[in-house]
Amino acid sequence: MPKLFLSPSTQEWNNYTGGGTEEEYMNLLADRMEPYLRASGITYVRNDPERNVSGAINDSNSDYYDVHLALHSNAAPESMVGLLRGIDIYYSPYSTASEKLAVTIANNLKSIYPIPALSRALPTTTLGEVNRTRAVAVLCELGYHDNVQDVEWLRNDLKALAANLVESLCDYFGIPFVTPIAVVKGTVVTDGSGLNLRSYPSLYSDIIDSIPDGAEVTIYGNVNNWYVISYNGVIGYVFGDFIRIG
């Protein structure tokens, strides 16, 4: 299953118009992404808020991740404070995968951002979280925190923004986007044989593991009677007919 390094801003000194900071709101966004990530079968690790950008890059590079996703908001130059709006999704021009992910995110955000034409993907050779990570990386500048309208959009639409970003990740990974359900426990019920834990909700997908009859699993989502579950720390899909809930 896909593995994500989720890196919300640690820039506590960037104040939002009307109160709050970039660090605060990007972490609130990451909080709201977590249920969608779990339900869609994407494992994730979040950055340490006590470390700076270099620390996040080092932590990301210390393990294997499919994607490094940095969450930020933008600020206009002093002479244009409050006048600029828009979403910029930065990618590495040296990585077709990075560009593909950035374009997917920017295009999907057009459906919820008030000015769709101002959601765009842009190359960068200077941002460390894009160009110094081993994982495919993008950095999202999700509106201008010195602009009243952008801040209002962010504050009011955090949940929709979280769902949209995870849906883009699912599009990129080629897996179903699954709406979260209340997390419940389930028990494997077979004829005594193991239940296949798969990488995709299909009988033709790769088998990740085998779960013994009677084992307890944690259920995060359901797509066409395939449950997204966790067993011994491994996330994947199992066919729902072989799970008893409760």
What are the DSSP calls for the chain, one per residue? --EEEEEE---TT-BPTTS-BHHHHHHHHHHHHHHHHHHTT-EEEEPPTTS-HHHHHHHHHTS--SEEEEEEEE---GGGTTT---EEEEE-TT-HHHHHHHHHHHHHHTTTSSSGGGEEEEE-SS-HHHHS-SSEEEEEEEEETTSHHHHHHHHH-HHHHHHHHHHHHHHHHT---------EEEEE-SSSSPEEEESSSSTTSPEEEEEPTT-EEEEEEEETTEEEEEETTEEEEEEGGGEEE-
Enumerate the CATH 2.30.30.40 domain ranges in the chain, comma separated: 184-245
- Count of other CB atoms within 10 angstroms of residue 212: 12
Q: Which fold has domain 3-173?
A: Aminopeptidase (3.40.630)
Which residues make beta-bridge pairs with 4?
A: 44, 67
Which residues make beta-bridge pairs with 185?
A: 218
Residue type, 40: S
Terminal CA-to-CA distance of the chain, rounded, Å?
Answer: 25
Question: Tens digit of pLDDT per residue, the chain (246 long)?
Answer: 899 999 999 999 999 999 999 999 999 999 999 999 999 999 999 999 999 999 999 999 999 999 999 999 999 999 998 899 999 999 999 999 999 999 999 999 999 999 999 999 999 999 999 999 999 999 999 999 999 999 999 999 999 999 999 999 999 999 999 999 999 999 999 988 999 999 999 999 999 999 999 999 999 999 999 999 999 989 999 999 999 997
CATH class of the domain defined by 184-245: mainly beta
- Count of other CB atoms within 10 angstroms of residue 141: 20
Q: How far is it, in rounded angstroms, from Cα 105 to Cα 139?
A: 10
Is the torsion defined by CA of 98, 207, 5, 103 positive or negative?
positive
Enumerate the CATH 3.40.630.40 domain ranges in the chain, comma separated: 3-173
Q: How far is it, in rounded angstroms, from Cα 167 to Cα 172?
A: 9
Cβ distance 143 to 154 under 8 Å?
Answer: yes
pTM of the model: 0.93
So what's the pLDDT on residue 1?
Answer: 86
Which residues make beta-bridge pairs with 87?
A: 119, 142
